[in-house]
Amino acid sequence: MTIRVLGIDPGLTRCGVGIVDVRPDRKATLVAVTVIRTPPAMPLEERLLAVGNGIEQLLDEHRPAVVAIERVFAQHNLRTVMGTAQVSGVALHSAAKRGLPVALHTPSEVKAAITGYGSADKRQVQAMVARILGLAEVPKPADAADALAIAICHAWRGGPVAPDAGGGTDTALTPAQQAWRAAERSGRTSAAPRRLAR
Positions marked catalytic:
9, 70, 143
| Burial class (CB within 10 angstroms; exposed 0-12, middle 13-18, buried 19+) of 74 | exposed
Helices first, then strands: H and E counts in the chain: 6, 5
Local structure of residue 161 (DSSP, 8 states)? S
Specify whether the backbone of 54 is left (phi greater than 0), alpha (psi in -120 to 50) or beta: alpha
Residues found in the chain: 198
Local structure of residue 30 (DSSP, 8 states)? E
